[in-house]
Amino acid sequence: MESEIVLNDLSRQYAYEGSNTDYDGFRRRIRSQSNNRREFTLPQADRGKDAWLFLAGCFMVEALVWGFPFSFGVFQEYYTTHEPFASKPAGIAVIGTSSTGIMYLGSPILFAAFKRWPHIRRICVLAGLAITVMSMIAASFATEVSHLILTQGVLYACGGLLLYSPTIIFLDEWFVQRKGLAFGIMWAGTGVSGVVLPFIMSGLLGRFDFRITLRAYGIALAVLSSPLLFFIRPRLPLAQTSLQRRINMSFLWMSTFWIFQTCNIFQGLGYFIPGIYLPTYARSQGMSGAEGTVILALVNLGVVFGSIWAGALTDRMHVSSVMLICSLGAALAVFLFWGLSVSLPMLCLFGLLYGLTAGGFSANYTGIIQSVRNRDTAVDSGMVFGFLAAGRGIGAVASGPLSEALLRMHIWRGEAKLGYGTGYGLLIIFTGITATMGSASWFARRIGWT
């Protein structure tokens, strides 16, 4: 019976990889091994010690890789007020958006490589860890903003992409029935790290400088990540075939995919702006750096719970409905609590509500993939995820220069009331509108477009 279960699991894997394996021949080999008492079993999916240890490892990798760029608001505030960067601050926002954006944008290329050469996945994890550590050390020697963009932004993103991406492929194997919840828990790692890291980084930057802070994080990344690599491994064995693996890209011709992708891109255009500018905004309103750090930490705290609840909901209801809740909730938080606030309590409330709603948006990816696969079961889940991540990356990269341009306009400064009249008014409006656009898939479904 166990060999039949193994056969079914591996058959699904061969089908997933698009190979033309001789299943009858493979069945005979399995039975032969069973008769000779050399049968093997796969670790249990969705439950069991191995699955949960794997998920715990993914949670920590998520926290270490993504928590740092999502805490960039602390560095944004430091770089704009300290030399050698304060005298020429142009491009500082690009550091944070390039690190997140490139990790998103590179996903389709890397997922395609994993599909073609699955044996490189574990190698990429090791290479990625080495590159992220080197990027932190290299950034500590920066003397210009352009140096930080190349190291703390681009190089860190390349290493983080290599380290993190295999976990997405492996998690798809380890969790089947609880996939949405599992992804939500993993992505909550960004929020947990984002709660803790701003305080650590702010303390280090205040006591030392950015050079020691970056080197310290590079060392911590190496020490904390290395033991996790034992648990970050695939559940299914590699297909024993030399045939080329065909990548099914038929979803690129589906209107369903492009409706979801359009919502995803627009939501990404504004999603990263509060995380970058809230500490600077707080400082402009006379608050201390510590208070700005608290606001940023509350955003990330909201992301923890937002990722989990949104991921769990996608297992129970249609993804467009969950996207509606996330999008409209985030838009209301922006327009009401950021736009109408110049005090610490209101900004803290905004940070928590924004993280809880907007922070759960990416947890909808598993639901989007399922909706696409309902149209064509042969579609490769990894490639759909990769293109969704790339769409979010477009928003992340574009939001850096866009946000700087909006701030330079100074529209409504001194004319409008409360947050809208602080010079950040146009930025607030832009963030709220892009958040609202994420709900368009719900309306498209109502008129039969998805």
Over the stretch 13-59, which tens digit does the pLDDT of each residue have?
Answer: 433 343 333 444 444 444 444 444 445 577 787 787 888 899 988 99
- Which alpha helices (H) appear in 71-151, and where do they start and end? 72-79, 92-105, 107-116, 121-139, 145-148
Over the stretch 324-381, which tens digit does the pLDDT of each residue have?
Answer: 999 999 999 999 999 988 889 999 999 999 999 998 898 899 899 999 999 988 888 8
Q: Would you say residue 168 has pLDDT above 70?
A: yes
Q: Would you say residue 109 has pLDDT above 60?
A: yes
Query: Residue 311: which pLDDT band, with cuts at 50, 70 and 90?
Result: confident
User: According to the model, what pLDDT value does residue 147 have?
Assistant: 95
Distance of CA 241 to the CA centre of its chain: 33
Triad 348, 400, 207: Cα angle to 5°: 55
The two structure tokens encoding residue 19: 């190979």
User: According to the model, what pLDDT value does residue 245 have?
Assistant: 62
**Residue 47: is it exposed, middle or buried by C-beta count within 10 angstroms (0-12/13-18/19+)?**
exposed
| Residue listed under structure tokens 């509108």 | 433
- Residue pair 58/169 in contact by the 8 Å Cβ criterion: no
User: According to the model, what pLDDT value does residue 9 have?
Assistant: 41
Which sign, positive or negative, has the C-alpha torsion 111, 116, 118, 121?
Answer: negative
| Residue listed under structure tokens 């400064």 | 413
Angle, helix 381-409 to helix 107-116, in steps of 10 degrees: 160
The two structure tokens encoding residue 280: 């600077």
Q: Would you say residue 7 has pLDDT above 90?
A: no
- Residue pair 418/342 in contact by the 8 Å Cβ criterion: yes
- Residue pair 96/279 in contact by the 8 Å Cβ criterion: no
User: What percent of the chain is modeled with pLDDT above 90?
Assistant: 38
pTM of the predicted model as reported, rounded to 2 decimal places: 0.77
Cα-based torsion angle of the residue sequence 171, 175, 177, 181 in order, rounded to the nearest 10 degrees: -60
Backbone dihedral region for residue 448 (phi beyond 0: left; psi -120 to 50: alpha; all else: beta): left
User: According to the model, what pLDDT value does residue 5 have?
Assistant: 37
pLDDT (mean) for 383-409: 88
Q: Cβ neighbours of residue 279 under 8 Å, at least 6 residues apart?
A: 73, 74, 76, 77, 289, 292, 293, 295, 296
When the pLDDT of each residue in the chain is averaged and rounded to a whole number, the result is 84
pLDDT (mean) for 130-145: 95
Q: Would you say residue 99 has pLDDT above 80?
A: yes
- Residue pair 357/303 in contact by the 8 Å Cβ criterion: no
